[in-house]
Amino acid sequence: MYKKSASPDVAMISKGSYYPTKESQGIPLASNKQSDKRDKVVLKKKVTLLRGISIIIGTIIGGGIFISPKAIQKHTGSVGMSLIVWTACGILSLFGALCYAELGTCIKKSGGHYTYILEAFGPFPAFVRVWVEVTVIRPAATAVISLAFGRYILEPFFVQCEAPDLAIKLVTALGITVVMVLNITSVSWSARIQIFLTFSKLVAILIIIVPGVMQLIKGETQNFKDAFVGKDVSVMGLPLAFYSGMYAYSGWFYLNFVTEEVENPEKNIPLAICISMAIVTVSYVLTNVAYYTTVTAEELVLSSAVAVTYAERLLGNFSLAVPIFVALSCFGSMNGGVFAVSRMFYVASREGHLPEILSMIHVHRHTPLPAVIVLYPVTMIMLFTGDLYSLLNFLSFARIFFIGLAVAGLIYLRYKRPEMHRPFKVPIFIPVLFSLTCLFMVTLSLYSDPINTGIGFAISLTGIPAYYLFIIWDNKPKWFRRFSGRVTRLLQILLEVVPAEENNS
C-alpha cells in the first residue's frame, strides 16, 4: 500500500489510458513542445517573497493571539509573567525559524519537518513524524483554529448570550469545507486570498493595538502595577503556558513545507522568515499589552473571546467589526495550514511513506488534490468530539517534540555532512538552545498534563508498528496488493489525478 513503485493500473492511467494524450489525438509531440511544457503536470513555482511572507504571517496570526492569552494568564498567574512568556515564545520561535531557514536553503525539498528528519535520521523517525501529523497534529490543529473561526464569526449575532456549541461547530464545518475546496481548486487563488487575509488580520491587530497605546498615553496602567503579584502558580504549569504561547506563534515553519514552489528559495526563505517573525513578535506583545490596559487578569481568564471583551469597552459600536476581522484571521490561518501541510503528505507519498494516491496531481488544476482532502474526515471527527483547550495540549506535545527533533537534525548534519552547501548558516548555540528547550517542555508536560500529553505520546508510539506493517513488510498477500491497486485506480478516475511529471525547467 505504501510502496513507491506504481502498480500496473496506476502506470496505465498516468500514461493516458483514461486521460487522452496528444499522441492519442494524432497531435505530434515535436510540433507542440511549448504547449507540452506549459501543460506539464507539476507543482509550479508560484510562491514569491510577498506570498511567502503572507503564508508565514497569515498562518501564524490566526486564532492563537485570540485564544492563547486566556490559557497563558491562567498558567502563569500574573500579568508580568504572562508578558514574559509571550516575549520568550517569540524569541524561541525566531530561533526555530532561523534554524529552519538554514535547513530550507541547504535542503531544497518541500515537506518541512518530515524532509529534514528524513535527511538527518533516516526513514523510520520520518515516517513516525508524518504518521503523527496525519493522525494527531494536523486534524487537531485545524479543529482548534476552525473552532475559533466559528466562535468569532457568530459573535455579532449573539451579543446578549453565548453562541450555541452546535451552531459554532456547524459554521466551523462549513469554514473547513470552503478552505478544502479553495486549496483543491487553484494554487494561485489560494495564495491571492492568503495575501488579502494577511492584510485583514494585520488590520485586526492594529485595531486592538492603537486604542491600547492611547490608553497607555492616558495613564491607564493600573493593571501593570504589581505586575508579578498574582495567584501562586507552580513551575509545572509553565510548560502549559509555553505550549499555548508556542501554539500562537506556530506557523513560522510552514514556508519550508512548500520549498519546491518558492521562487529563489536561497534568498526568499530566510528573508520571508526574518521579516515575518519580527512583525509577528512585536504585534503579539503589543496586543497583549493593549489587552491589559482595559481588561484585568481575572477578567481575561473568564472571557471566552478576549478580543471582543476588549473591543466592547473601548470601541463602542465599532466593536462588532472586531470578531469579523478575527474570524477572517482564523480563516487565513486555516487556509495557510492546509496549503502547506498538504505538501508534506505529497512529499511523504513520493518517498513511499504514504499511499501513492497522495503524490498525484489534478490533471487540469495542478493541485495536490488527494493530499489536501485526506484529513477532511478526521478533522470533522475531532471537531465534533473535542474540547478546544484539551485539543491544544493534545497536539502541542507531538508538534514541539518533532520540531525539536528536526532542529537537532540540523546539528547532526553539521557533523555528518560538513560539505553540504549552506547559503544561510546560524550560530550553533541557536539550534542547541532551541532543541534543548523543546525537550524540556515535552518532558515536563508529561507531569503537568499527563492525560492529554500522554495520549499524544501514545499515538506517536503507534507509528512504530505502523512502520513495520506498511513499510518493512514486503511480502504482502496478493489479494491485498490487487485490492490496493484497484482502489488507487478508482480514486485516480474519480479525482482526475495522475503522478507528477519530471520538472526539468
Segment 357-368, tens digit of pLDDT: 888 888 887 888
Place of cell 511480502: 475
- Asked whether residue 28 carries a pLDDT value surpassing 50, the answer given is no
Do residues 379 and 149 lie in contact, with contact meaning Cβ atoms separated by under 8 Å?
A: no
- Asked whether residue 341 carries a pLDDT value surpassing 50, the answer given is yes
Pick 284 or 67 by higher pLDDT: 284
Give the tens place of pLDDT for each residue, 211-252: 888 888 888 888 788 777 766 655 666 777 887 788 788 878
- Asked whether residue 505 carries a pLDDT value surpassing 80, the answer given is no
Pick 135 or 4 by higher pLDDT: 135
Give the tens place of pLDDT for each residue, 144-171: 788 888 888 887 787 677 778 888 889 9
**Superfamily holding 51-455:** Amino acid/polyamine transporter I (1.20.1740.10)
244 forms bridges with which residues in the sheet? none
> What per-residue confidence (pLDDT) applies to 10?
42
Give the tens place of pLDDT for each residue, 417-469: 988 888 889 999 999 999 998 888 888 777 767 777 777 778 788 889 999 88
- Give alpha helix (H) positions in 186-251: 187-217, 238-249
- Asked whether residue 40 carries a pLDDT value surpassing 50, the answer given is yes
What is the pLDDT confidence band of residue 261, given thresholds at 50, 70 and 90?
confident
361 forms bridges with which residues in the sheet? 498
What the block records as the C-alpha cell of 285 is 506583545
> What per-residue confidence (pLDDT) applies to 53?
87
Spatial distance between the Cα atoms of 459 and 128, rounded to a whole number of angstroms:
10
User: Can you tell me the mean pLDDT for 54-80?
Assistant: 79
Pick 367 or 276 by higher pLDDT: 276
User: Can you tell me the mean pLDDT for 287-300?
Assistant: 86
Q: Which amino acid is at 383?
A: L
Percent above pLDDT 90 for the chain: 10
- Asked whether residue 342 carries a pLDDT value surpassing 90, the answer given is no
Evaluate if pTM is beyond 0.85: no
262 forms bridges with which residues in the sheet? 47
Spatial distance between the Cα atoms of 148 and 143, rounded to a whole number of angstroms:
9
Strand, helix or coil at 389? helix
Give the tens place of pLDDT for each residue, 397-409: 778 888 999 999 9
- Asked whether residue 2 carries a pLDDT value surpassing 70, the answer given is no
Pick 163 or 293 by higher pLDDT: 293
Spatial distance between the Cα atoms of 229 and 231, rounded to a whole number of angstroms:
7
> What per-residue confidence (pLDDT) applies to 14?
42
Pick 126 or 66 by higher pLDDT: 126
**Domain segments of the chain: what residues?**
51-455
Do residues 55 and 340 lie in contact, with contact meaning Cβ atoms separated by under 8 Å?
A: yes
Spatial distance between the Cα atoms of 7 and 1, rounded to a whole number of angstroms:
10
The mean of the pLDDT values for the chain is 80
User: Can you tell me the mean pLDDT for 168-189?
Assistant: 86
Spatial distance between the Cα atoms of 85 and 378, rounded to a whole number of angstroms:
32
- Asked whether residue 32 carries a pLDDT value surpassing 60, the answer given is no
Rg (CA), the chain: 23
User: Can you tell me the mean pLDDT for 293-297?
Assistant: 85
- Asked whether residue 277 carries a pLDDT value surpassing 70, the answer given is yes
